[in-house]
Structure 1
Amino acid sequence: MSEQANPEASAAAATPRGLFVYLMLYGGMTVLAGVLAFKQVQLPPTDLAVEAGIFAFLMLVVISSTIAQLYGQNIANRIVWWGFVPLLISALLMQLVLGLPASTEMVEFRPDDLAAFEQVHRSTWRVWLAGPAAYITSLLLNVWIFSKLRGSGEANTIGLMVRGAIASAISQAIDSVIFITLAFYGEFDITNLMIGQVLAKVALSFVLVPFLITGGVALARKLDASAA
């Protein structure tokens, strides 16, 4: 059967393998970032803290930058926008699960587990609302800065690392301000969390992100080559 007679096969063949793999990973990270964000992790030996969603969000930054580098800014922007789909579906499913009655076994023998589950997930509505606002602003900004710094030429590895670090540092600092303010302001003093989050994200942007992006680009190229 020819590709003209099988449009599904033709479309699948047109999608680079690296892009396909990163799309799946990206969707998972958008959901996981919101779930992890409920826990604040202390940064010893200081009193500064970060919300644990930083680790999944770091992967979103790396993936979006990698896609922008290899497949273009427009595709990266579209993926960022489509990231709302798994966010919305996961939020709706969470509300459905919370609304369904627990099993008799769980009510009778594991009431503490049930109470903990409901307490955590019923109180994360501000996190679920703050996440999309911070997400769309910071990741679109990350893709824009990363692409603008590239200019019209093909950057070398050092240029790729520098662009990735700068774009990540700026976009993640803004993400922290938006997310922490919307999610936690009024519930407790957010000063240490805000400072710790910004410092941690900026530090990781310069220490870790450059290597993750170069590794991500190399992996995508390897995946694309293996599918050729």
Structure 2
Amino acid sequence: MNELFWALMLLFNFGAIILAYRFWGKIGLFIWIPIASIVANIQVTKTIDLFGLTATLGNIVYAGSFLVTDILNENHGKKDARKAVGIGFFSLIAMMVLMNMALWFRPGADDFAQESLVTLFSPMPRIVLASLIAYGVSQLHDVWSYNMWKEKLPARRFIWLRNNISTMISQLIDSVIFTTIAFFGTFPTHVLVEITISTYILKWIVAVCDTPFIYLASSWRERAELMESR
């Protein structure tokens, strides 16, 4: 059943991104970045079995943020893509500080949430540190790489190539950095290696599946420019 739920989450994630872009343009994509950053860093604390591999949850939501920066890069330029990366950084730091401050408060006699919050957010500083480093390095690489390929192969028919090359290499960088920093010493070495490999494979699948959506976003942009020129 995990595989079915994973496929459903994949469709919902891409659908939400493309709807946000359809309704609110690049502002919708800027809104999605903190949603993805926060949700992915909560989901990643859950380990699941998927396609016979041990994996962490959150891969779909996090990998979707690369679709967001690629759409921004393709349709609005490198500056807006970098702005989205900065928004993601800020949202992660704000969440870490606010949720860890929430744990300082003494719970009331009728409170039922404290233990769950401690379980979820006590390891958050290490996970957020791992996420910030991995997110910064991989996303900035993705923005740079996508823009480089866009300059070398500017034709629309090559969107799939620059999208997949930039994202797949960036996802590999992200998976290695994040898994090593977040989980080293927490899991046995063989589990850590399995999580790294499975995480990358799943993100690679997400990267391939997002290609039709970036073409759709590109066609909307071209149509909007056509209408503006009339």
TM-score bucket of the superposed structures, by smaller chain = 0.7 to 0.9
Task: Say whether 1:36 aligns with 2:53.
Answer: no
> 1:222 & 1:103 partners in 2: Cα distance?
56
Map residues 42-61 of structure 1 onto 2, 5 A cutoff. Answer: 42-44=49-51, 46=52, 48-61=53-66
* Separation of aligned partners in 1, 2:33 and 2:145: 19
Residue 18 of structure 2 corresponds to none
State the alpha-carbon separation in 1 of the partners of residues 167 and 219 from structure 2. Answer: 19
The one of 198, 201, 204 aligned to 1:199: 201
Aligned to 1:123: 123
1:15-30 pair list within 5 angstroms: 17-30=24-37
- Per-residue CA shift, 1:65-106, capped at 9, x if unaligned? 000011111221132123211111111110121111222211
Greater Cα radius of gyration, structure 1 or 2: 1
> Residue 75 of structure 1 corresponds to which residue in structure 2?
80
- Measure, in 2, the Cα distance between the counterparts of 1:192 and 1:152: 36
Give the direction of change, closer, same or farther, for the CA distance of 1:161–1:91 in structure 2 (3 Å limit).
same
Q: Output the amino acid matched with 2:149.
A: L
Q: Distance in 2 between matches of 1:127 and 1:26?
A: 18
Higher helix share: 2
Identify if the C-alpha distance between structure 1 residues 210 and 117 changes in structure 2 by more than 3 Å, giving closer, same or farther: same
Q: Distance in 2 between matches of 1:170 and 1:41?
A: 24
| Identity rate, percent | 22
Q: How many residues align?
A: 204
Aligned to 1:99: 104
Letter in 2 for 1:39: K
Match of 2:138 in 1: 138
Question: Partners in 1 of 2:76 and 2:102 — Cα distance?
Answer: 38
After TM superposition, the structure 1 stretch with the greater mean CA deviation from structure 2, 19-28 or 113-122, is 113-122
Pick closer, same or farther for the CA change 1:75–1:202 going to 2, 3 Å.
same
Separation of aligned partners in 2, 1:42 and 1:186: 20
**Structure 2: gaps spanning 5 or more residues:** 1-22
Give yes or no for the alignment of 1:209 onto 2:210: yes
- Contact kept, 8 Å, 1:38 with 1:52, in 2: the verdict is yes
Alpha-carbon RMSD across the aligned residues, in angstroms, is 2.5
What is the Cα deviation at residue 159 of structure 1? 1.1
Counterpart of 1:199, as a letter, is: I
The alignment partner of 2:55 has SS state of strand
SS of residue matched to 1:187: coil
1-structure distance, mates of 2:55, 2:220:
29
TM-score (norm 1): 0.80
